[in-house]
Structure 1
Amino acid sequence: MLLDLLRQRYLEMLRSVPSRWKILIVDEYTRPMLNSVLSTYDILEEGVQQVDVITAPRSPQPRLAAIYLVMPTDQNVDLIVRDFAPHSSPNSNSARRSSKKREPAHGSGQVEPPRYASAYLQFLEGIDDRLVGRLTSELPHTYLLALKELYLNLHALESRVFSLKSPHAFLSLYSPPGLKVEDSVARWNYEISRMSHTLVNALATLGEYPMIRYYSPPSSFHSLLGPAAAAGESMCKRLAERVQAEIDAYARDNSDFPVSDRLPASCTLPPPDGFALLVSQPVSDPPRPRGVLLITDRSMDLYAPFVHEFTYQAMCNDLLNIEDGRTYKYTFRNASNDIEDKEAILTEEDSVWTEVRHMHMKDALDKLIADFKAYAGEHDGKFGQSGGTSLNDMKDMLASLPQLRETKEKLSLHLTMAEKCMHLFEKKKLPSAAFIEQCCATGVTPEGKTPKTLVEEMVPLLDDRSVSSTDKLRIIALYIMHRDGVPEGDRKRLYQHARLALHEMDAVDNLSQMGINVSKDSGKKRKALFKQRPEEDSYDISRFQPALKYMLEEHFSGSLDQSTFPYVRDAPPSGGSSSSRATSAAPAQAGSLRSARPQWTATRGRRTVAEPRQRVVVFVAGGMTFSEVRAVYKLSESANKDIVIGSTNTITPEQFVSDLSNLDRGPPGGDTSPIPPTALSAPRKESKASNPTSLSQQPYDRSHPHPHSHPSRQPQYVPEPHSHPQSHPHSRGRGPPPSNCMPPPSNSYPIPTSSRDPRSLSPLEYAPPSQTSGLSPRMYSPAPSPSIPSPSPTRSFSTKSSTTYTSVSTTATSTGMEVKGSSLNGTAEVVEKEKKKKKKLFGF
């Protein structure tokens, strides 16, 4: 959905230039965005002869029109003006000297013509008045034929996923303020500005003017975190109010936004100057329900980043070395028996990846094997016929060979990836680790009982040297959250059993900065937001579901507590879901977060007319997990909604642990993602060229990204009282970041001094054994249980709880896929007394 909309917008941008042949000029920021949506073939098909980077050396093309797809920064405007400014050509300019058909020189013959025949400026974001003034005054009007703002500044990772690609945002949002509180709050406000502007771009792309809800954690859950405590306002609330203000201004300035079937027949928007403004539009039949934007943050669910997720996409990103969630490098043996290095791009163009990415690994592997068998059997039989093959059959066979080869390579790739995941699954003893994780994350055993032997099962795994330190850390973190904190002495003994390095201990201790009770001495009781409701027929080690899934289900059923998830404005009269076609359960009592099984699925069978699906955008500040992405895809189908999820970045457990370990030290140097000044400034009147016959022929277009283009103005920026310590001269006193919108230099943000130097840490370093062995308080309440023993040098590293699973090897043969494996029965020695026979195990 999102990728298709962006693809359509980019193609419309290229087709808006009437010239048959053209040059496309991008910058380093817009190039990856364009490449994630359009292939090189797609771009060339639109008459683009070449794609150049604006900061790189470029040869002149005076006969071709130039499309500038860039961010509206000072540097880019300087380069655009320079491309069309008259200048002398030095004798050493080999590029122009070697041109056989050079344009005639002007004047004395020493002045070179502009680099391109004309300029079509397509800015990815809103552009500042000051920069527009420079372009219209310094650029010759005969060359400047268009100036548009596209509002496409977002990274679309998948059809339902977008991101800011800001991995350091987590540290800026949650690191405790350093010595200079103002600097920490300024960086916090800067990240909120980036998030709000990306959300406005996403809503404009979708053509949605939504109702906005945000996460407001109750005091029993946690207080304000990081710089938000110094600012005196929760992050989600400030972000939601800022998005509301900007999207209101955007709707005022665009008469055809939102599209008519996105709003009720009339909707009153807050006016900019005190006068009532009524937007009345015809409504299509049947209308699309008004969209909803749900804003939450990482602190709402800290279980999801730690729990091992065994669906295909999540497991691959957790266990394999996949760069940025999409690039996988591997080696394979070719037909000549030579080993080659290859790189696979895991996108939605890979049909095999798209089909199995959200399946449980067992189901995904079963399907991959079955598909490969069917493929090998069908095509080996077809190509192995010795006679009776006509010339037409042979032609069809040869024409299909490239596609068949690609299908075979994709199946082989994913079989290899799945097999490697299963190998690591056994090698890292993940069945035993995952069983403990599930009991901690869900609070119950597979039989629905309270776990009472977690320590006996956990300590042997922590002692086991074959279990990685990261997996041990994840177990300890989940156990501490499950127990709502443990005594300090017991926590130290857990560290000693696991032999954690100092920075790994810091990662667990820094959970306190995220509102977690790490120590039992804190005196606060943390209440769970949602009760885990494992799905039927779920695997024992895949019972946990992220809180985001329950939040969406309760929103759709109308039972999501409005005190914890309030509306910024325009709450439905019933206080429930915004969709009039959703069968809402009885609203929960005020202050209650009781779970209710959703009822919206019961209405799907009675529908006779296809109705437009409501669009729901979920934004997770601080990073989203692959389990949450999977939940969005699953709910989109089961709830009959178009759900899109976005975040500052996508995180893996390893990345999250690394961020936690550095949380008390603050973020590193500034993020260099450019945000134009108008992203944070007030709307203004349209700038007009001094020559009415130039730009007026193709007017300055402040386009919004939905299909019905209309001249518009930049959304209004509603400043916060202390949004930035300094005001920029071009911001009209509203206080956004500087003109190039880079964050302040890193030396402006002091990094708190740690008592331990991270450079001196060794991954094998661990604390000495405790001298208070056996003296710790009880680890369980109310049922008594053994305390955590101190590690002993002679302790055995064999686990008391283990589960055995087969490795699966696949061998391609001329007749199909041969599957080899041993017995696949799971065993458990002391994990529990006896498992029910009808219960599923993770095995083959």
Structure 2
Amino acid sequence: MNVITAVKAYITKMIEESEPGMKILLMDKETTSIISMVYGQSEIQQKEVFLLERIDSGNNNSNSGLRYLKCLVFLRPTPQNIDLLSKELRNPRYGAYYIYFSNIVAKADVKILAENDEQEVVKDVQELYMDYLAVNPHLFSFGLSTCMANWKTFTLQRSVQGLASVLLSLTKCPIIRYQKFSNLCHELAQKVDELINKESTLFTFGQSSQPLLLILDRRCDPVTPLLNQWTYQAMVHELLTINNNRVNLSKVKGISKELAEVVLSAEQDPFYAKNIYLNFGDIGQNIKELMEHFQEKAKSHQKVESISDMKAFVETYPQFKKLSGNVSKHVTVVGELSSMLSEYELLDVSEIEQEITSQTDHSSHLQSIRKLLNPGGNRKIRDLDAAKLVMLYALRYRSHSSNDIGGLIKMLKKRNVSEYLISSIDSVLKYAGRYAQPSEIFNVVEAVKITKRLFKGLNGVDNVYTQHKPVLNEILDEIVKGRLREDLYPRLGGFTSQQINSRSQDVIVFFIGGVTYEESLTVHVFNKNNPEMRVILGGTTIHNSKSFLEEANETIRANV
């Protein structure tokens, strides 16, 4: 199971199945992102696609004299896109249209397109199930922020469509299990099950074992998205933000125009692929080796004295230029991470975060936070990190008889921390809800177990910055042992006892409310350690702590 491979295979099919010759690729905003996640523009253009267009750009009257070109149309099957495509077909700018939808398209919509195709320019209409963003081989997202607040109006339907396309692209018809405490999980599970039954012919696959789709609620683990990260991909997202593989560096002091926005894609960047899950200390050494390799290449290009030298240089120039750009990009990104790490004292912050989440020592934790928040200490701690420490403390010690949440909030106010961050403390506690106060719905023994589960480190971990393990870590452990509890994660549908008791080799875990790169790392390590199993992870979005706080605040505001 590999979502990047699945999406790439569909794109190759789309481009190569049409007649040979130069082509236009017509997309919408979402499908543009879907393709750009796995292919660079230059790679697409090497496949006879010389122009990329947006159907919703409003500038589609300029190419009226290009009837000799073929047009590949790749759109989500939305009412707006059906309408825009109908207008395009009524006055076609190109000689032939090959239409590909990213998901199941209604027969009524196909009929509308046929009625508008008066000049009979449509040569083919197909469904290619890639209605999601393939981020890593085992990680996908729908790019939906603040999803719980928009659940009824948009997110539920989009999540059903997205999960259907993931299942179809991976050719899986799963048993569906969901987190019992979450109405959202139950509702999504039911809707996906209904769609599978409705489109049963599409979901008929020869499967050696019964796959599992497990739907989880972000609220089961509000801790993981609040932590600073120390692996390359996760650290970049936390400190600089990755948006569809792109990182905006325009605010970096003295940045050149070429590096104002950089692309971090493991598919197109061997250095990033090699370092994506490595800790920050290891990346520094690898950057040094990358620079030394480049310097050696540069020396070999200094000697251009003959025609053969020039020819050799020209032939290797694209690779040389690419290597040069890669070195500049990663030196800039790692340099900025290093500056932020030092300037904002993130090592000290992270150490306390990890201790709060992985150990039980109220007095020591309270003292450490007070020391960092003390305005007289001349510390450079960011307001965001200061507020997150209080959030973690509040989640951890909310029920502790000697907790001093109020005192810590007063310290934040003395630091002039924004009202938004201070109110976010209460929002996160309300967002965590039942899991922050597990005794409300579980007996005392179960309450202790759940609390331990939120704040459980791994024994024998040497690195103080990576002690914390997400709740997902324990869930996967239960799955691999065949012990995932029916009372906590019930299943839908009528399955035989043999199917129910069999261990799934293929598992798709989906988080309503967003997933994190730390959980992606958890799945990467799990797959590596359990080669007989394949786990894919997805979420409505991929959070860093800022986007998670927005999610929590909007969810509470919407009273979900």
Q: 1:515 to 1:577 in 2, by over 3 A?
A: farther
**Residues 727-775 of structure 1, C-alpha deviations (whole Å, 9 max, x = no match):** xxxxxxxxxxxxxxxxxxxxxxxx99xxxxxxxxxxxxxxxxxxxxxxx
Cα offset, 1:291, TM superposition: 2.5
Does the C-alpha gap of structure 1 residues 485 and 476 become closer, same or farther in structure 2, counting only changes over 3 Å? Answer: farther
Query: Please, which of 408, 430, 434 is the counterpart of residue 346 of structure 2?
Result: 430
Distance 1:520 1:543, change over 3 A: closer
Q: C-alpha distance in 1, partners of 2:44/2:272?
A: 25
How far apart are 1:629 and its partner, in Å? Answer: 1.4
Q: 8 Å contact 1:555–1:576 — kept in the other structure? A: no
Aligned to 2:433: 515
**Counterpart in 2 of 1:643?**
535
Q: Is the helix fraction higher in 1 or 2?
A: 2
Q: Structure 1 residues 138 and 438, CA, compared in 2 at 3 Å: closer, same or farther?
A: closer
Q: Secondary structure at the match of 1:403?
A: helix
1:437-452 correspondence runs (5 A): 437-444=353-360, 450=361, 452=363
Aligned equivalents of 1:385, 1:117: Cα separation in 2: 51
2:53 counterpart of 1:52: yes
Instruction: Find the counterpart in structure 1 of residue 329 from structure 2.
Output: 413
Q: Deviations over 1:761-809 (max 9, x none)?
A: xxxxxxxxxxxxxxxxxxxxxxxxxxxxxxxxxxxxxxxxxxxxxxxxx
Give the letter aligned to residue 550 of structure 1: E
SS at 1:327 equivalent: strand
Equivalent in the alignment of 1:17: 18
Measure, in 1, the Cα distance between the counterparts of 2:249 and 2:433: 38
Which residue does 1:462 correspond to in 2?
373
User: What do the CA deviations read for 1:468-518 (whole angstroms, capped 9, x no partner)?
Assistant: 221111111111222143579932211011224332222111222331577
CA gap 1:122/1:379 in 2 versus in 1, 3 angstroms: closer
1:413 maps to amino acid: K
Q: Distance in 1 between matches of 2:218 and 2:380?
A: 31
Measure how far apart 1:11 and its partner are: 2.0
Q: Please state how far the C-alpha of 1:547 moved relative to its aligned partner.
A: 1.1
Distance, in Å, in 1 between the alignment partners of 2:472 and 2:236 is: 22
Taking structure 1 as reference, are residues 343 and 76 closer, same or farther at Cα in structure 2, changes over 3 Å only?
Answer: closer
1:309 aligns with 2:229: yes
CA shift, 1:191, in A, is 2.2
In the superposition, the TM-score normalised over structure 1's length comes to 0.58
Gap runs ≥5 in structure 1? 87-113, 174-185, 218-223, 225-233, 265-288, 445-449, 580-613, 667-750, 753-844
User: Equivalents in 1 of 2:120, 2:259: separation in Å?
Assistant: 51
Q: 1:415 to 1:40 in 2, by over 3 A?
A: closer
Change (3 A) 1:118 1:535: same
Q: Following TM superposition, by how much is the alpha carbon of 1:7 offset from its aligned partner in structure 2, in angstroms? A: 1.5
Aligned to 1:248: 197
- The equivalent of 2:486 in structure 1 is 562
Q: Percent identity?
A: 21
Q: 1:660 aligns with which of 549, 552, 556?
A: 552
- The match for 1:815 is none
Paired residue total: 538
Question: Which letter does structure 2 place at the counterpart of 1:615?
Answer: D
Q: Does 1:356 align with 2:270?
A: no
Where does the alignment leave 5 or more consecutive residues of structure 2 unmatched?
Answer: none
Match of 1:130 among 108, 122, 135: 108
CA displacement 1:3-55 (0-9 Å, x = unmatched): 22211112212322236344332233322223333333444444445333334
Contact 1:313 1:626 in 2 (8 A): yes
Q: How does 1:346-425 map to 2 (within 5 A)?
A: 346-348=264-266, 349-376=268-295, 378-379=296-297, 382=300, 395-396=311-312, 399-425=315-341
Higher mean C-alpha deviation, range 397-406 or range 292-301:
397-406
3-state DSSP of counterpart to 2:404 = helix
> C-alpha distance in 1, partners of 2:482/2:465?
30
**Which whole-Å CA distance do the structure 1 matches of 2:313 and 2:71 have between them?**
43
The residue correspondences of 1:181-220 to structure 2 (distance < 5 A) are 186-187=152-153, 190-217=154-181
Partner of 2:8: 7
Relative to structure 1, the CA distance from residue 486 to residue 325 in structure 2 (aligned partners, 3 Å threshold; closer, same or farther) is farther
Conservation of the 8 A alpha-carbon contact between 1:25 and 1:51: yes
Take 1:149 and 1:321, find their aligned partners in 2: how far apart are those partners?
33
Match status 1:157 vs 2:121: no
1:138, distance to aligned residue in structure 2 (A): 4.0
Rounded to whole Å, the distance in 1 between the matches of 2:257 and 2:108 is 57
Residues 576 and 394 of structure 1: CA distance in aligned 2, closer, same or farther (over 3 Å): farther
Q: Given the superposition, is the C-alpha separation of residues 144 and 632 from structure 1 closer, same or farther in structure 2, using an over 3 Å criterion?
A: same
| Corresponding letter in the other structure for 1:538 | D
CA root-mean-square deviation = 3.4
Query: 1:161, 1:646 within 8 Å by CA — same for their partners in 2?
Result: yes
Q: Is 1:540 matched with 2:437?
A: no
Q: Does 1:479 align with 2:371?
A: no
The alpha-carbon deviation at position 568 of structure 1 amounts to: 2.3
Inter-CA distance 397–25: structure 2 relative to 1 (3 Å threshold): closer
Q: Which residue number corresponds to residue 578 of structure 1?
A: 503
Looking at CA atoms only, which structure, 1 or 2, has the larger radius of gyration?
1
Task: Please say if 1:62 is aligned against 2:67.
Answer: yes
Cα distance change of structure 1 residues 66 and 560 upon mapping to structure 2, 3 Å threshold:
same
The one of 244, 247, 255 aligned to 1:327: 247
Cα offsets for 1:104-128 (capped at 9, x unmatched): xxxxxxxxxx543333332223333
Question: C-alpha deviations, 1:430-468, integer Å up to 9, x for none?
Answer: 233222211211124xxxxx5642222221112245222
Distance 2:319 2:459 in 1: 39
AA at the equivalent of 1:126: I
Give the conservation status (yes or no) of the 8 Å contact 2:135–2:141. Answer: yes
How much has 1:390 moved relative to structure 2? 9.7
Q: Matches of residues 497-508 of structure 1 in structure 2 within 5 Å?
A: 497-499=411-413, 500-508=417-425
